[in-house]
Amino acid sequence: MTNPDFDTYRLSEDHEAIRDAIRDIATDKIAPYAADVDEQARYPQEAHDALVASEFFAPHVPEEYDGVGADALATCIVIEEVARADVSASLIPAVNKLGSMPLMIAASEEVKKRYLPRLAAGEGFAYGLSEREAGSDTAGMTCQARDNGDGTFTLNGGKAWITNAGVAELYTVMAVTDPGGRRGANVTAFVVEKSDPGFGFGEKERKLGIKGSPTRELLFDNCTIPEDRMVGARGEGLKVALKTLDHTRITIGAQAVGVAQGALDVALAYVKERKQFGKAIAEFQGLQFMLADMAMELEAARQLVYVAAAKSERHDRDLSFFGAAAKCFASDVAMKVTTDAVQLLGGAGYVKDFPVERMMRDAKITQIYEGTNQIQRIVMARQLLR
């Protein structure tokens, strides 16, 4: 006997419609520029413009702030489909969510109304948490925001490895506001605008992959901002930052699923066309086993990401575990699938005539940023042991 409850485990028609729409955009307006974006290490402006025009630039922004109000799963689908064409471009909607999620979690209504409509209109939002000596150890940050006692704070110090730095107009920055306070409870979040005096950027990092997404330092030299830019309560910044990551790690899982799917698509097309020993190499059982494993692991990753996205939307108590698991598992799968795709293409996979070598390079970062996969395993273990 079949259980009718099982019929509900499927994407809604709205989710499928979003996938169709963003896939068309990614295919027509993003994929054709991906190789050049990588080769020139330039920002994917074509993708930026297409995403703004189609309202997929920051789909998570609620309708009351002039956004389209896409749920967490729909946002993941957007990121997945863009990453299938170009991982660098997928960092546009992904980092817009990362940068603005602290506002959605903790900011006053005034701050939300001031900045979220600007994001929905096409002004990027980046996220300033990591520092050179405070990566996984976020509580070890040294960037400071001094309370001037006149309704302003002055920032000094820097942030490192900031995605889309320099192209984003808005930044959520975590800074120490009580240097003598308890470690981790002395950090506050602020919105910093690109035009603020005393705020600048370091040189672009030269990276293995995601070359189209600029990664730079944020530099603060007596950057004074009004205290009404504070996001959440004073001293709650690190708590807000970590809660943000519970939600946004899932988008990295979606990105990983997307690049893995893109690599599998290329590999499938290639093995059906490439002939050796008088037949298509797709007919060799050894390669069929590789393809089956790639597809099986990819689909397992996709389902885990979708489940985590649903938990993000509901704010489930076990979100920390599932967010970490989705990011960790999907990124490990992406690295394996893209590497196997290069192997399936042989020498052709190792040259830039085909996109799988770029996909392999791009996939690597998904195991590192928004918390390394070693950190994800610590997060999961702590949740299990509570």
Looking at the annotation, which residues are catalytic? 370
Which residues have CB under 8 Å from 19's CB, separation 6+?
A: 11, 77, 81
- Taking the C-alpha atoms of residue 256 and residue 90, their distance in angstroms, rounded to an integer, is 10
Question: Where are the extended beta strands (E) located within 101-236?
Answer: 125-128, 144-147, 152-163, 170-176, 187-193, 199-201, 215-226, 230-231
CA angle 28-53-64, nearest 5°? 135
Q: What is the DSSP letter of 134?
A: B
Which residues have CB under 8 Å from 98's CB, separation 6+?
A: 125, 126, 127, 163, 244, 248, 251, 370
- Taking the C-alpha atoms of residue 47 and residue 33, their distance in angstroms, rounded to an integer, is 8
Tell me the pairing of strands 215-226 and 170-176. Answer: unpaired
- Taking the C-alpha atoms of residue 71 and residue 74, their distance in angstroms, rounded to an integer, is 5
Structure tokens belonging to residue 335: 């690295």
Q: Classify the phi-psi angles of 207: left when phi > 0, otherwise alpha if psi is within -120 to 50, otherwise beta.
A: beta
